[in-house]
Structure 1
Amino acid sequence: MNSETTNPKHGALPPWNVDELPAPLPFSLRNALRTIGPGAILLVGAIGMGEWIAGPLFVVQHGRSVLWIATLAFVLQSLLNLEAVRYTLYTGEPVLTGFMRMRPGSKVWGFFYALAGFAQLGMPAAAAGCAGVAFAMLQGRAPTDGDASMVTWITVAIVLVSAVVLASGKKVERLLERLSWMMILFIFSFLLWVNFTFVPLKDWISTSAGFLSFGSIPENVDFVMLAVFAALAGSGGIGNLAIANWFRDKGFGMASKTGNMGGVWSTEQTLAPVGRVFPINAENLKRWRDWWRYAIIDQSGLWMLGCIVGMFLMTNLAASLFQPGMQVSGVAAGVFQAAEMRKLWEGFWYLALMNGFWILFSTTLTNVDVLARVVADMAWAGGAVPKKMPVGRLYGLLLLGFTVIACFGAFLGDAKLLLMILGATAAPITAFSALQILRLNTTLLPPELRPPLWRKIALVLTALFYGAISVAMFHQIFSR
């Protein structure tokens, strides 16, 4: 046993406590279904902005051949998510806390990622899309630019309702997980039904081929929309990093020894002031491998597979309903699918809107939670607030503050504009964080737990893929 396993490097924050790694449930499919869950939260967060809006918009404009970008995004982001989880399984801390242990220190990285999170999620993009759907349900028609004021006020209402829902749970992660499973069942049942109803077999084949048409880039492509599509096909940016926070609150690995964020109204401290690591020995490594298998099922079997199926069903439907090159009004970005299905049967209008509403409302819940959650965790870990303050109370205060800001942000633009802001900031965050996770997991983790070479290469490829897209996007923006 070397010095790294007996005295693990802890970086710029206080040293971890040392304890034995708890044993997970014996590995089986039944126990996997009882253990997994964070992937469900991330899936419903991804499916709104990426699969319901950005994916169909991009595919309708450029054709099915661009779907290979989604394939690459799902695979790379799944590997990125698992590397974020790797750190949490060992330390019981979210990966953003791990970043704060790296040079140049916790204050720099805490401020950087709080600012990055706000830039990506501070504006209510999903709520604005959800508001367009709610308007259509109330008025019986798609919103137009003349309805922007009413849609904005509905956006404010949805943001407020989301905050109330998040504040109502005794444990936020458990509340989100239960809501997510219900929404997944409803959303995918509806999507399968309408695809079998509307889409002929030849279109299913064409859509499938698009996911494998690697390297195809249309002429005169809008690189801003491409960046939005690549980042939001999945959970790009802060969403990739927040998965570790949910794994911590779920109690994976050493997180079962460090506690969780608790609820907004909790008066007790539910989170340990510092993480815990385990000594490297044969028994702990065996337990580690079982925890890692459950994490793979959650991220590759649930999240990645769910994203692929969701993107397939939504783009398959959109590409078969609309003519290539169709343009969509910004306030109607969440409604255009329902408007086309209405031509076949009036009932599809309301069913599609109900589906779209729950998709975008679930994404709103996730986005609001992510921003408050990651900033609360970083403030807690970095010592920005007293440790005697319940971390759930800190989460609640940040939830209140970000909700107020989002309500004002609703007046800054429509759903399509806010979507582009979200996606355009997510791509460079994904590129940068991939390299930082690589540095973290090859520096602070003991050699026995570090990622193998092929996973290191995958992180570099993630950085190159999203870095290249970000450069092309910024070049297009600043050359106009």
Structure 2
Amino acid sequence: MQDREVPEAGAVAHELPSKFLPAAKYRDLPEPRTFRQIFGASIILTATAIGSGEFVLWPYITSQVGLVLMWAAVVGFFMQYILNMEIERYTLATGETAVTGFTRVWPPLGVLITVIAIIPNLWPGWATGAATIVTYVAGAGAPVPIAIVAMVAIGAALTLSKVVYRTVERVEMVLVGGIAVFLVVALFVGTGLSDWAAFGASFAKVGQLPPMEEVGGVAALLGAIAFAGAGGGNNLVQSNWARDKQMGMGQYMPRVTSPFTGQEAAAAGTGHMFLDSEENRRRWKGWWKVANVEQFGTFFLLGCGTLVIMSVLAYATVFGVPLPDDDFDFIKAQGEIFGQNFGSWFKTAFWTAGAIALFSTQLGIMDWVSRLTADTVKVTFFHGSTKVTESRIYFAVIWVMIIAGSAILLSGTDQPLALILISSSAGGVVMFLYSMLLIFTNRKFLPRSIRLGGWRLVMMCVAVVFYGYFSIALLIDQF
């Protein structure tokens, strides 16, 4: 029996279909980097998670029904960790984003996923939320102009960045670090042993759901589960961040740079496939191990820990307290109760941390929406163009988002919680769709030695059922 022939570098890689996009070629997988070198690859994803589900949606639900749904939050977070690693698996192996993989299957798939992911995120709920909390700290002010100024500041900072990823990563690290300091203080100052005992007891109710009206309806519940983590199309852009961090085959790919201060690359983001040799399989094991450790620590442990602490804080302060049924009043009430119990300094610290969390989310969302759009549009419609670059599309989308978001706010739609619920419930439907597509691409397109299988395949199937159930429930509820 003859040994299987290993193709040479530069040969066409037949694993990736080339009917709709250019054929990929074989290249050797680069040597794996250390944890220290890739640390931060998941920090933007974590930052966007902290300001959505962790600070807003789950504390809001906890203020209504207590800790009875904590099991769903932890399960939802773990499933997103699995999803994120399948998104990274494809990028580590090919250098392409997951959406480019969907486009290889059928171009409308990538466009459809992108459109569904983007539309609800034109609503600037996080900027409005941050601005609303700033008015709590200041004791006065109008949220709308503050939110618009914040979005313009983000756009200017990104536009003037030489390499956009580095700027976003560094800013988000500082913001997340500030939030982490508050959480450590809040853990000891704002909660007690009885609150944590109630948290532990909540896991005896795994699988149980409270009446929908108690959690704000199916949309609120689906949004909270989808945003127990990053949620929606946000997770897909882990591909882009891993690529710009130059992880795996992403080292061969162009990065988003400023058209004013950086060196633009005209090439589209179609990638490569590594040779299935013994040496490359060794390198793959190194990449897969360090990527898993980074994602588990930065995203799951830090993100899930933040969600739990913020929810227990809500339970300890406002659960059972009658609150007006209006937007961020539960966050305002939390701060006021903190001020009464622990001093005005803690009230100010809580609101400041909240404003930082929501601002970090708005920054991350503007970045990921623009990345997802730019990648999809360049690969699908302008693959061969040297004038229409991914970087130029990225910055065009950034400023369209700022203009559209400002118009929405000036039109009078400025209720932050309502805006966030719109985005998050749609995000759950998107996750249902791309969970199925990831199973297909990571089973069909990758070499047998690295393709999706075993317990991770089981968990991906569970994710399809999980998000599918709540998506169907949402559609039934709406129509």
TM norm structure 2:
0.91
Q: CA RMSD in A?
A: 2.0
The letter of the residue matching 2:377 is A
Residue 284 of structure 1 pairs with residue 280 of structure 2: yes
Q: Distance in 1 between matches of 2:461 and 2:178?
A: 37
Q: Which residue of 1 aligns with 2:458?
A: 457
TM norm structure 1:
0.91
Deviation of residue 348 (structure 1)?
1.7
**More divergent stretch after superposition (191-200 vs 259-268):** 259-268
Deviation of residue 448 (structure 1)?
1.6
**More divergent stretch after superposition (418-427 vs 1-10):** 1-10
Q: Distance in 1 between matches of 2:16 and 2:178?
A: 46
Q: Distance in 2 between matches of 1:6 and 1:290?
A: 22
Once the two structures are superposed, the pairs formed by residues 250-265 of structure 1 within 5 Å of their partners are 250-265=245-260
Q: Which residue of 2 aligns with 1:144?
A: none
Residue 74 of structure 1 pairs with residue 103 of structure 2: no
Q: Is the 8 A contact 2:126 2:358 kept in 1?
A: yes
Deviation of residue 113 (structure 1)?
2.4
Q: Distance in 2 between matches of 1:387 and 1:448?
A: 36
Q: Is the 8 A contact 1:67 1:211 kept in 2?
A: yes
After superposition, give the CA deviation of every residue in 1:95-132 in whole Å (9 maximum; x if it has no partner): 11111111xx22x1243123112223111111111111
1:442 aligns to what SS in structure 2?
helix
Q: Which residue of 2 aligns with 1:330?
A: 327
Q: Which residue of 2 aligns with 1:55?
A: 58
Q: Is the 8 A contact 1:166 1:365 kept in 2?
A: no
The 1:16/1:455 distance shift into structure 2, 3 A limit, reads: same
Residue 167 of structure 1 pairs with residue 168 of structure 2: no
Residue 404 of structure 1 pairs with residue 411 of structure 2: no
Q: Is the 8 A contact 2:30 2:251 kept in 1?
A: yes
Once the two structures are superposed, the pairs formed by residues 198-213 of structure 1 within 5 Å of their partners are 198-211=190-203, 213=205
The 1:266/1:8 distance shift into structure 2, 3 A limit, reads: farther
Deviation of residue 211 (structure 1)?
5.0
After superposition, give the CA deviation of every residue in 1:77-105 in whole Å (9 maximum; x if it has no partner): 11011001110011111111111111xx2
Equivalent residue pairs, number:
462
The 1:267/1:390 distance shift into structure 2, 3 A limit, reads: farther
Residue 437 of structure 1 pairs with residue 438 of structure 2: yes
Q: Is the 8 A contact 2:126 2:420 kept in 1?
A: yes
After superposition, give the CA deviation of every residue in 1:232-271 in whole Å (9 maximum; x if it has no partner): 1101110110111100100000000113112342563336
Q: Distance in 2 between matches of 1:61 and 1:35?
A: 40
**More divergent stretch after superposition (286-295 vs 211-220):** 211-220
For structure 2, list consecutive stretches of 5 or more residues without a partner in the other structure.
none
The 1:48/1:335 distance shift into structure 2, 3 A limit, reads: farther
2:42 aligns to what SS in structure 1?
helix
Q: Is the 8 A contact 2:94 2:273 kept in 1?
A: yes
**More divergent stretch after superposition (385-394 vs 181-190):** 385-394
2:161 aligns to what SS in structure 1?
coil
**More divergent stretch after superposition (151-160 vs 293-302):** 151-160
Q: Distance in 2 between matches of 1:387 and 1:110?
A: 22
Q: Which residue of 2 aligns with 1:231?
A: 226
1:380 aligns to what SS in structure 2?
helix
Q: Which residue of 1 aligns with 2:300?
A: 304
1:17 aligns to what SS in structure 2?
strand
Once the two structures are superposed, the pairs formed by residues 21-420 of structure 1 within 5 Å of their partners are 21-25=29-33, 31-102=34-105, 105-106=106-107, 108-139=108-139, 150-211=142-203, 213-221=205-213, 222-266=217-261, 268-270=263-265, 272-273=267-268, 274-324=270-320, 326-330=323-327, 332=329, 335-344=332-341, 345-384=343-382, 386-410=385-409, 411-420=412-421
Deviation of residue 220 (structure 1)?
4.2
Deviation of residue 180 (structure 1)?
1.9
The letter of the residue matching 1:7 is H
1:170 aligns to what SS in structure 2?
coil
Deviation of residue 383 (structure 1)?
3.1
Q: Which residue of 2 aligns with 1:16?
A: 24
Q: Distance in 2 between matches of 1:80 and 1:227?
A: 17
After superposition, give the CA deviation of every residue in 1:51-85 in whole Å (9 maximum; x if it has no partner): 10101000111110111111110111110110011
Identity of aligned residues (%): 25
Deviation of residue 187 (structure 1)?
0.6
Deviation of residue 394 (structure 1)?
2.1
Deviation of residue 162 (structure 1)?
1.9
1:338 aligns to what SS in structure 2?
helix
Q: Distance in 1 between matches of 2:75 and 2:52?
A: 18
**More divergent stretch after superposition (372-381 vs 154-163):** 154-163
Q: Distance in 1 between matches of 2:201 and 2:65?
A: 15
Q: Distance in 2 between matches of 1:137 and 1:10?
A: 55
Q: Is the 8 A contact 1:40 1:303 kept in 2?
A: yes
For structure 1, list consecutive stretches of 5 or more residues without a partner in the other structure.
26-30, 141-146
Q: Distance in 1 between matches of 2:374 and 2:331?
A: 31
